[in-house]
Amino acid sequence: MLKRDALRLIAGCALSISAVAILAACSEKKAQFRGVDVTGADYARDLPLPDHNGQMRSLRDFRGKAVVVFFGYTQCPDVCPTSLQELVEAKQLLGADGERLQGVFVTVDPERDTAEMLKAYMANFDPSFLALRGSPEQLAAVAKDFKVYYKRVEGKTPTSYTMDHSAGSYIYDPAGRLRVYHRYGSGSQALAEDVRTLLRETP
Annotated binding-site residue numbers for Cu cation: 76, 80, 165
CA angle 56, 199, 144 (to 5 degrees): 40
Could you give the CA distance from residue 201 to residue 173 in angstroms, rounded to a whole number? 8
Binding site membership: which residues? 76, 80, 165
- What stretch of H or E contains 93? helix 79-93
DSSP string, 21-79: HHHHHHHSPPPP-SSEE-TT-SS-----EEBTTS-EE-GGGGTTSEEEEEEE-TT-SSH
Could you give the CA distance from residue 190 to residue 44 in angstroms, rounded to a whole number? 21
Q: Which residues pair with 168 in a beta bridge?
A: 183
Helices (H) and strands (E) in the chain, counts: 5, 10
Q: What's the distance, CA 70 to chain centroid? A: 8
Could you give the CA distance from residue 38 to residue 193 in angstroms, rounded to a whole number? 16
Pairing of β 66-72 and β 168-172: antiparallel
